[in-house]
């Protein structure tokens, strides 16, 4: 485990993401909680990760399951309380695992005390904590501008008492905070101190590039069907000023930050995460490699394009090398499961292993999302009322307009909704996948008798063991962390091949996308007969040759020392 005195600890670490509601249910009420996390700390440690990122644990009315925070300095009663959180924090630290919290400051919940008080009117000091504005016509007949939310219809909600509207870029229950107000920024700093004083090691900052809005809130580009106006809230210059202010606090504690940054480009990222930019954040989550089978958002699907995927990864690898640092991920709580998207259900384990090696062996800090390490897959629900997420329902309204009936929409949601990543973690082959005896808050994937942690522990060839081996290999080989990156056979539509190099060592990663056999020949300068094969999702050949015909979703990794 990298120590705090190592300034590069956040580059060397790997991170496990917990979406608490579905991770582990310790009190058996059907909802994941911190009791469950406490019980699973040994398991998390066994993965070889160095940190846990918790999706929000704060009290929340669950309009967006914690991303609508009603109290930044507390724990959701469904998950436990501050004492229990301290136990988890200590338990993690005792195991050499750091703890990263989600910081959601673009918006609060509409149940947050600040928002409730802001509704008292302009005389309340909290009124200016939010974007309250008069409509273009009185009586709620026309909102202040034409913006549309990303999650739920128009971006303005009318309040009759005030005869004013409030802005919500996300759901109605997520009013945007006016971070331009210095008092709000003081509140943010006080939140940071509260958790850092307790011993928390850093933050994943939710949609952090959205926290500044164009002054005067002008109309947005009219043709956008959702998120209209986003050019007025995405990565505007004041975001950097605010981050600089927050960083003063974070630096006192040596805290780590990773910012979620939709629409981020490498050029723009360099304005945040390089030494030259003052390292306003350590890392940024961009979305480019999550768009290889869709247009901008998962719901607008396209056939998978390996070339798009490779281009996204390689561009960021090249652009960040030596100046910034990549956040590596292929799953989180906002996307369907990766094997369903970029891999193959028929070759679940083989393709899951290939995908894991593909991203973990790149340059950057890898994140693994709960259940990814056992190859959990999308769920198939039958009816719309089984879904829970605000985005699913918003999209139903939109897709209805273009002719989708419920049945057709449910089929789409089964492939494209982020709820696929939110089914309870399958711990065993017992009832409800061992998550709970009670009725789980969200359906457990019926494939749990086959796909579960206990089964994966017992099978030496499982994905779980493969993830452990990859994470440990990364830790033991500075080349994987610090090496250069070069892509080979860029135009191939079935192979993703790249090499890493550092300190006289080289690694070649060969990933096959698809079942079709293809002839692979080692790139010039790489002699497979002189290398050690360190990973393979099929048995290694008895004698190595300098080329081979690939098997379905085959992955091989060669090391030259």
**Interface size with ligand GLC, residues (CB under 6 A):** 9
Instruction: Decide: is 33 part of the binding site for ligand GLC (CB under 6 A).
Output: no
Q: Which is nearer to ligand GLC, 25 or 152 (CB)?
A: 152
Instruction: Decide: is 67 part of the binding site for ligand GLC (CB under 6 A).
Output: yes
Instruction: Decide: is 207 part of the binding site for ligand GLC (CB under 6 A).
Output: yes
Instruction: Decide: is 206 part of the binding site for ligand GLC (CB under 6 A).
Output: yes
Q: Which is nearer to ligand GLC, 369 or 448 (CB)?
A: 369
**Closest by Cα among 336, 420, 427, 435 to 386:** 420
Q: Which is nearer to ligand GLC, 53 or 553 (CB)?
A: 53
Q: Which is nearer to ligand GLC, 25 or 260 (CB)?
A: 260
Pick from 334, 340, 373, 554 the residue near ligand GLC by CB under 6 A: 334
Q: Which residue is nearest to ligand GLC (CB)?
A: 67
Binding letters toward ligand GLC, positions 261-300, x by CB under 6 A: ----------------------------------------
Q: What is the DSSP letter of 184?
A: H
**Closest by Cα among 278, 308, 314 to 296:** 308
- Minimal distance in Å, beta carbon 272 to ligand GLC? 17
Residue 542 designated active-site: no
Instruction: Decide: is 64 part of the binding site for ligand GLC (CB under 6 A).
Output: yes
Please provide residue 463's backbone torsions phi and psi, each rounded to the nearest 5 degrees.
Answer: -60, -40
**What is the rounded distance in angstroms from the CA atom of residue 514 to the CA atom of residue 551?**
9
Please provide residue 50's backbone torsions phi and psi, each rounded to the nearest 5 degrees.
Answer: -115, -5
Pick from 31, 84, 104, 328 the residue near ligand GLC by CB under 6 A: 104
- Minimal distance in Å, beta carbon 448 to ligand GLC? 24
> DSSP characters for 229-260?
TGGGTSS-THHHHHHHHHHHHHHHHT-EEEEE
**What is the rounded distance in angstroms from the CA atom of residue 513 to the CA atom of residue 553?**
5
- Minimal distance in Å, beta carbon 219 to ligand GLC? 23
Q: Give the β-pairing of 519-521 and 547-549.
A: antiparallel
Gyration radius of the chain's alpha carbons: 24
**What is the rounded distance in angstroms from the CA atom of residue 370 to the CA atom of residue 452?**
12
Q: Which is nearer to ligand GLC, 105 or 508 (CB)?
A: 105
Residue 419 designated active-site: no
Sole residue written with tokens 């522990």? 457
Write the burial class of residue 383 (CB in 10 Å: 0-12 exposed, 13-18 middle, 19+ buried).
Answer: exposed
Please, which of residues 234-263 interact with ligand GLC by CB under 6 A? 260
- Minimal distance in Å, beta carbon 315 to ligand GLC? 22
CB atoms within 10 A of CB 487: 17
- Minimal distance in Å, beta carbon 341 to ligand GLC? 17
Please provide residue 376's backbone torsions phi and psi, each rounded to the nearest 5 degrees.
Answer: -65, 150
Binding letters toward ligand GLC, positions 157-196, x by CB under 6 A: -------------x--------------------------
Contact status, residue 390 vs residue 152, Cβ threshold 8 Å: yes
Q: Which is nearer to ligand GLC, 104 or 255 (CB)?
A: 104
Catalytic residue among 64, 78, 176, 206: 206
> DSSP characters for 289-344?
GGGTTEESEEEEE----HHHHHHHHHHHHHHHTTTS--EE-S--TTS--HHHHHS-
Instruction: Decide: is 152 part of the binding site for ligand GLC (CB under 6 A).
Output: no
Instruction: Decide: is 329 part of the binding site for ligand GLC (CB under 6 A).
Output: no
Please provide residue 37's backbone torsions phi and psi, each rounded to the nearest 5 degrees.
Answer: -60, -45
Instruction: Decide: is 25 part of the binding site for ligand GLC (CB under 6 A).
Output: no
Contact status, residue 209 vs residue 243, Cβ threshold 8 Å: no
- Minimal distance in Å, beta carbon 333 to ligand GLC? 6
Q: Which is nearer to ligand GLC, 17 or 452 (CB)?
A: 17
**What is the rounded distance in angstroms from the CA atom of residue 169 to the CA atom of residue 145?**
13
Instruction: Decide: is 79 part of the binding site for ligand GLC (CB under 6 A).
Output: no
Catalytic residue among 110, 260, 331, 419: 260
Q: So which residues are the catalytic ones?
A: 206, 260
Residues making contact with ligand GLC (CB under 6 A): 64, 67, 104, 170, 206-207, 260, 333-334
């Amino acid at each position: 485990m990298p120590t705090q005195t190592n300034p590069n600890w956040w580059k060397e670490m790997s991170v496990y993401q917990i979406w608490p509601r579905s991770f582990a249910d310790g009190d058996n009420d059907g909802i994941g909680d911190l009791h469950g996390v406490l019980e699973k700390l040994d398991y998390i440690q066994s993965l070889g990760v160095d940190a846990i990122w918790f999706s929000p644990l704060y009290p929340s009315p669950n309009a967006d399951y914690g991303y609508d925070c009603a109290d930044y300095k507390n724990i959701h009663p469904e998950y436990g309380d501050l004492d229990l959180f301290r136990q988890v924090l200590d338990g993690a630290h005792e195991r050499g695992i750091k703890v990263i919290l989600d910081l959601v400051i673009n918006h609060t919940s509409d149940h947050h005390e600040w928002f409730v008080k802001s509704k008292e009117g302009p005389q309340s000091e909290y009124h200016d904590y939010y974007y309250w504005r008069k409509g273009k016509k009185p009586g709620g007949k026309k909102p202040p501008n034409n913006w549309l939310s990303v999650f739920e219809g128009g971006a303005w909600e009318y309040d009759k008492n005030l005869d004013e509207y409030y802005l919500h870029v996300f759901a109605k229950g997520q009013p945007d905070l006016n971070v331009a107000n210095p008092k709000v920024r003081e509140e943010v700093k006080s939140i940071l101190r509260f958790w850092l004083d307790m011993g928390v090691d850093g933050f994943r900052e939710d949609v952090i590039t959205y926290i500044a809005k164009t002054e005067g809130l002008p109309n947005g580009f009219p043709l956008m069907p959702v998120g209209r106006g986003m050019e007025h809230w995405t990565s505007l210059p004041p975001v950097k000023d605010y981050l600089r202010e927050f960083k003063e606090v974070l630096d006192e504690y040596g805290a780590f930050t990773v910012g979620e940054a939709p629409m981020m480009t490498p050029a723009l990222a360099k304005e945040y995460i390089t030494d030259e930019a003052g390292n306003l954040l350590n890392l940024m989550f961009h979305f480019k490699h999550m768009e290889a089978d869709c247009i901008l958002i998962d719901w607008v699907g396209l056939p998978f394009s390996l070339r798009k995927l490779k281009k996204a990864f390689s561009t960021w690898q090249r652009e960040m090398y030596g100046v910034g640092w990549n956040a590596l991920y292929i799953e989180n709580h906002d996307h369907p499961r990766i094997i369903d998207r970029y891999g193959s259900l028929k070759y679940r384990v083989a393709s899951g292993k290939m995908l894991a090696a593909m991203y973990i062996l790149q340059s950057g800090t890898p994140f693994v999302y709960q259940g990814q390490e056992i190859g959990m897959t999308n769920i198939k629900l039958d009816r719309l009322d089984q879904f829970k997420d605000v985005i699913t329902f918003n999209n139903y309204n939109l897709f209805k307009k273009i002719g989708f009936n419920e049945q057709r929409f449910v089929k789409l949601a089964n492939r494209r909704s982020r709820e696929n990543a939110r089914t309870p973690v399958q711990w065993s082959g017992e009832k409800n996948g061992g998550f709970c005896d009670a009725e789980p808050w969200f359906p457990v994937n019926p494939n749990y008798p086959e796909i579960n942690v206990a089964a994966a522990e017992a099978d030496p060839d499982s994905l779980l063991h493969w993830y452990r081996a990859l994470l440990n290999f990364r830790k033991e080989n500075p080349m994987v962390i610090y090496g250069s990156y070069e892509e080979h056979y860029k135009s191939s539509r079935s192979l993703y091949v790249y090499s890493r190099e550092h300190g006289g060592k080289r690694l070649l990663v060969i990933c096959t996308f698809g079942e079709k056999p293809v002839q692979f020949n080692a790139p010039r300068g790489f002699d497979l007969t002189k290398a050690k094969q360190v990973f393979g999702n099929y048995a290694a050949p008895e004698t190595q040759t300098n080329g081979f015909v690939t098997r379905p979703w085959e992955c091989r990794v060669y090391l030259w020392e």
